[in-house]
Structure 1
Amino acid sequence: MLWIIILLILLLMIDFQVGRFLVSKRNNSQSWQTTTEEVELFAEGNSLFEAMIADIEKATESIDIQFFIIRNDRISNQFYTLLARKHAEGVRVRLLTDWVGSFKFRKKWLNQKFFVRKTNPPRFPFFYHLQQRNHRKVLVIDQRISYFGGFNLGDEYVGKDVKLGKWRDYHLRMIGKIGEVMQESFTNDWGFTNKGQIPQTGDIEVLSTEGEVLEKELLDYIENAKETIEIGSPYFIPTRKLAQALMDALARGVDVTILVPEKADHIIAKAAALPYFRKMKEHGATIYLYVDGFFHGKVLFFDRKICDAGTANFDRRSLQLNQELNLIVGHEHPIYHVMRKTFDFDISTSKRMTDTWLNHQPLYLKILSWISIPFRIFL
């Protein structure tokens, strides 16, 4: 039995390395410059889904909706019923989800009441596809109103999970030209490539990434930071290069602040983060623990001048494996202001991580942190 487990681990490692090489050769990452007229940030699920439903109700031409995870529960069925009705009214409805992320996706969603597809289905030889996930979450209505961020579709995202409690996340609603970009991102994932069709002008940079592109992008920002680096993420499992870059930043006097949840929705991911927390603290980083439920937001600030927000976590899966969607804005942009205000509030309601907190973690977590070392590339 042990040799079978060892063989499977070796195959996963080979798959990862070969897949990473192949993706580097045919990388589909893309960037756009665009604008938006209106911006609204949602940090809790009930108000977000209410706004989405209200906008979907008003759709007259098209609805393109994409989530990494879709549950089989009350809120997902509410969306299903609404989308089926809009399709019957003559609105083009396309729904996209990840094969693994929505593995238990109910078959009734595939009954041709509207168009449904799953990305990244397994195929032989796997070479990355077994592990790569489309982690993007996008909703585009009539090519003008767009949503994107960290929320998936399910009751847990409105605080119905007894263990996790309130769900804290960052999701943007935008009106304007950025809707065309979100539409193109969705269309590319759907299977049609329209690169170069959108004018490249504006004060928002949108990044659609896969492979190691996001890691390289963040590495550049971290290495050039002069005063502050702030990171909000549900998981903290940086690549070796990013971990070293953060320690180098601390050594040159940059203040590094990290916000993570105290609760864990994936226990192995929490265990894998413990050694990084300890190392960051030893080098002078300030780490905050979000305690009012589960924190799932994804945001970075550099020198209080640049904001990076979107679907990517600060973990190796998002940085080297997943297909992600992020935007970058300067400090004068409205998106920066709403993200800054919400992040500062979340920091103010969190508690600082102490050495005592680290030292008193359960023994099983400490053991898992060592066991997880060979698997960090998948976390």
Structure 2
Amino acid sequence: MYALIVIISIIFFISCLLFLDYQLGKRNHIKNLRFLDFEPTTGDYNLYTNGDQLFTDLFDDLRHAKKQINVMFFIVKDDDISHELLELLKKKAQEGLRVRLMVDRIGSFRINKATVKQLEQAGIEFTFSSTPKFPFLYYRIQRRNHRKITIIDDEIGYVGGFNMGQEYLGRDAELGNWRDYHLRLIGDVVKDLQITFFDDWYLNTGESYDHIPEPTSEGSKEVEITSTDGGQLEDVFMTLIQQAQDEIFIGTPYFIPSERLMKALLSAMDRGVDVKVIVPMKADHLFVKEAGLPYLSRVRKAGGEVYFFDLGFYHAKVIIIDQELCDIGTANFDRRSLFLNKEVNTLIFNKRFVMDLRLAYLRDVQDSQPFDDHYTQLFNLGTKIRIGLAYLVRPLL
């Protein structure tokens, strides 16, 4: 009995310490938010929904680089496609190009000291981003740099949802086909991606950037980069939802909105806006599906349409408003992206592109199962218990 009391006391003490760490870390984070405020600019773009074509073009652009390469990923793994990227970067550094590589410390935990040493010996400038440290260690563990940016010769930019790993090529036996969205950008917009990259580079290396060259091509379409550091993203999404008059299409692997965003969606449906949400049928993390089910149920009950993508894993992050504009980037529609992570998204105002994206979205609807009465009947006791547990950890999902 005494031993049990001691164990409970220790657990309670540790829980209090973690809670205090989280709250103090959150206060410090909010006090020191970094928001890179970009104006609408111009650019041209290609959309990728398939990892094979994306990595083919990305690697081809890297091979033809002449001056410098800046790469940032949330996840780089220890597998064939990751090795191909690292070997290509080493080769370009050995050719005399300036190559910078930055990866999230926890997301890319598979990159070990030996790998870092090999990269640096090849001439690559390498740094981990968002390394957890004191004070506020527990809170900093939750704060991830979720951005995925590549800039080549100050002219070509890549940004979107794909990380570097075999599953992003659809080679994971459990998750299967991988649906995601990624952009290849040229034009003035590339400079804003550069600024985002170098802001993170400065925070992790202390090396400031004095001058970023203007891209030689301007681009012909209106675009805008939004680089958020937790907190501001909720306002970005609120603006998109509140301006919708006809339809809001949301694609996300995790649907765990803030209550403010949830109320905005319900209000949009009250004024007659058609709301559709696609999420994956399969879950790739513990509790994320269960955490989203109550919100998805509220959307459905309010008259919205909810679909579970069933042709592999759905990792796309997209919002389409009124067939007029869209948001594609790294941010999920969840609490972690809204309030903890560093994210970077691209707003596109070109109606023709938005219409093509809308058609791609509706094709994904055809490969999904609707969240109808039959599905809700499948909720067993185990699912309900997991929903309750997921409710407790929503801020971290």
The TM-score, its normalising length taken from structure 1, stands at 0.93
How many angstroms apart in 2 are the aligned matches of 1:195 and 1:301? 36
Alignment match of 1:163 (pick from 170, 174, 199): 174
Aligned to 1:300: 319
Instruction: Judge conservation of contact 1:210–1:324 (CA < 8 Å) in 2.
Output: yes
Residue 261 of structure 1 corresponds to 280
Per the alignment, residue 142 of structure 1 pairs with: 153
Tell me how far 1:362 sits from its aligned partner. Answer: 4.7
- Indicate the residue corresponding to 1:97 in structure 2: 103
1:55 corresponds to which of 61, 70, 73: 61
Matched residue, 1:377: 395
Q: Distance in 2 between matches of 1:46 and 1:2?
A: 51
- In 2, the alpha carbon distance for the partners of 1:297 and 1:51 equals 19
Letter in 2 for 1:264: A
Aligned partner letter, 2:127 = R
Q: Does the residue aligned with 1:32 lie in a helix, a strand or coil?
A: coil
Kindly report the root-mean-square deviation, in angstroms, between the aligned alpha carbons of the 2 structures.
2.2
SS in 2 for 1:31: coil
> Is 1:289 aligned to residue 308 of structure 2?
yes
- 1:236 aligned counterpart, secondary structure: coil
Aligned to 1:173: 184
Match status 1:45 vs 2:51? yes
1:235 corresponding residue in structure 2: 254
Q: Distance in 2 between matches of 1:299 and 1:8?
A: 39
Q: By how many angstroms is 1:99 displaced?
A: 0.9
After TM superposition, the structure 1 stretch with the greater mean CA deviation from structure 2, 265-274 or 99-108, is: 99-108
Cα deviation for residue 33 of structure 1 reads 3.0
Q: Which has the larger radius of gyration?
A: 2
Distance 1:52 1:19 in 2: 37
Check whether the contact 1:223–1:245 (CA below 8 A) recurs between aligned residues: yes
What is residue 343 of structure 2 aligned with on the other side?
324
Structure 2 unaligned runs (5+)? 1-6
- Per-residue displacement from partner, 1:43-98 (whole Å, max 9, x unpaired)? 11111111111110001111111110111011101111111111000011111111
- 1:197 Cα shift? 6.9
Asked if 1:351 corresponds to 2:381, the answer is no
Closer/same/farther in 2, CA of residues 248 and 17 from structure 1, 3 Å limit: farther
Which residue type is aligned with residue 255 of structure 1? D
Cα gap change, 1:341 to 1:224, in 2 (>3 Å): same
- Give the distance between the partners of 1:167 and 1:8, measured in 2 at CA: 39
Deviation at 1:277, TM superposition (A): 1.5
Q: Which amino acid aligns with 2:389?
A: I
Q: 1:109 aligns with which of 111, 115, 138?
A: 115
Partner of 1:119: 129
- Structure 1 distance, partners of 2:165, 2:311, is 20
What are the equivalent positions in structure 2 for 1:2-81 lying under 5 Å apart? Answer: 2-33=8-39, 35-81=41-87
Q: In 2, distance between residues paired with 1:250 and 1:12?
A: 39
Distance 1:10 1:284, change over 3 A: farther
1:33 partner letter: E
Unpaired segments ≥5 residues, structure 1? none
Query: What is the rounded CA distance, in whole Å, between the counterparts of 2:240 and 2:71 in structure 1?
Result: 31
CA distance in structure 2 between the partners assigned to 1:360 and 1:206 by the alignment: 41
SS of residue paired to 2:93: helix
* Residues 15 and 239 of structure 1, relative CA distance in 2, 3 Å threshold: farther
| Percent identical residues | 38
TM-score (norm 2): 0.89
Q: 1:242 to 1:88 in 2, by over 3 A?
A: same
Query: Contact between 1:109 and 1:116, CA under 8 Å: does it hold in 2?
Result: no
What's the CA shift string for 1:210-230, capped at 9, x where partnerless? Answer: 121001221232233222211
Alpha-carbon distance in structure 1 between the residues aligned to 2:199 and 2:359: 33
Aligned match of 2:332 in 306, 313, 321? Answer: 313
Alignment size in residue pairs: 377
Q: Contact (CA 8 Å) 2:319, 2:327: kept in 1 or not?
A: yes
The verdict on how the C-alpha distance between 1:248 and 1:2 changes in structure 2, with shifts beyond 3 A counting, is: farther
